[in-house]
Amino acid sequence: MQLALLAALPTAVTALQPLNGIGVKPLGGAASIDVGALLDKKAAVIFGTYAADFNAIEYGQRLRHYAPKLKERGVESLHLILNADEAASEKFVELLGLEGVCDVYCDPNGAAGRAFGCGRGWLPDEDSLFDGQIPINAYGKLFGMLLGLGAWATLPAVIGGYIGNPWRAQPWIADAMAQGSAQGRWPGTGLVVETGRGSGYAFDELPVVGDWGRRPLELATLRLQNMIGVSLQNWDALRPRDDQLAVLTQLGGLAIGDGAGGLLYEWKDPGICAVCNFEDALDALDGKTV
């Protein structure tokens, strides 16, 4: 009888059950919050990665841009869980200009993401290759993931940042690069060019492809800005502690609750740089087929 009842439950409802009882700590020292309770409302919860990671950085940048559009569609609250301690999370918020955009939570061991079913990357439970012949640490596993091991969508996502996409607009990229440039990150004011109409965004002014939804090299340029100006420059402040390096390979995701114990939309990253396209999330909230 119990199995029959479970089978009758919507998939989204049963998918949320593992989140009940998983606690994450809000920035500012407040008591731990139950992740399952966050999704009892019509809320968006990003299951981020470690604070210096490409995926976490892009989630923060996308959320910063799309927050008003999510709220226009009835999303009551926005939450970002980072696999990071409080100091790293605070630095992350400062670097990406997320003050007042969303509630941020610390989950240094990545328990919430694992409970949601986020990918754990390549060889998450192994410490060697070839039956113990070659030891491998978390950084070695992360390098393997950059080549697509345990994260099949990494290379397509990276290559897509170079070749662009003529159809689907990605306005968050220009917003993120402007925010980074304002903080002095490479390439600084080089993103602004002079045209016959005055100052303009460099990628808008490209011949032939300037009106594409995502211009060639545009996303790749942002990722280089993020790597240099956020991740590498602030590595010591953002990196996981030595006893929490397992989160280096853990991927992220997004859940939007429907307010009735289920999900309106969910996404789990299939690779590094392969984070949720928030335009798809907006379509789901608008009732369109995604």
In a domain, 11, yes or no: yes
Amino acid at 257: G
β-pairing, 253-257 vs 43-47, is antiparallel
pLDDT of the residue at 126: 95
User: pLDDT tens, 217-261?
Assistant: 999 999 999 999 999 999 999 999 999 999 999 999 999 999 998
Instruction: Look up the pTM and report it.
Output: 0.93
Tell me which residue range forms the domain holding 154. Answer: 2-285
pLDDT of the residue at 7: 46
pLDDT of the residue at 195: 67
Highest-pLDDT range among 29-33, 50-54, 183-187: 50-54
Secondary structure of residue 72 in the 3-state scheme: helix
In a domain, 32, yes or no: yes
Question: Which band of pLDDT confidence, cut at 50, 70 and 90, is reported for residue 198?
Answer: low
In a domain, 290, yes or no: no
In a domain, 66, yes or no: yes
In a domain, 80, yes or no: yes
Cβ atoms of residues 251 and 39 within 8 Å? no
- How many beta carbons lie within 10 A of that of residue 201, not counting itself? 18
Provide the token pair at 117. Answer: 């079913």
Question: Which band of pLDDT confidence, cut at 50, 70 and 90, is reported for residue 192?
Answer: confident
**Around 126, how many Cα atoms within 13 Å sit in the side-chain half-sphere?**
16
In a domain, 116, yes or no: yes
Checking if the pLDDT of 45 tops 60, the result is yes
Total tally of structural domains belonging to the chain: 1
Query: Is residue 134 classed exposed, middle or buried when 0-12, 13-18 and 19+ CB atoms within 10 A define those classes?
Result: exposed
Average pLDDT over residues 17-38: 93
Query: Is residue 213 classed exposed, middle or buried when 0-12, 13-18 and 19+ CB atoms within 10 A define those classes?
Result: middle
Residue 24 and residue 274: Cα distance in Å, rounded? 24
The more confidently predicted of residues 139 and 261 is 139
In a domain, 23, yes or no: yes
Query: How big is the chain by its Cα radius of gyration, in Å?
Result: 20
Residue 176: closest CA among 256, 59, 78: 59
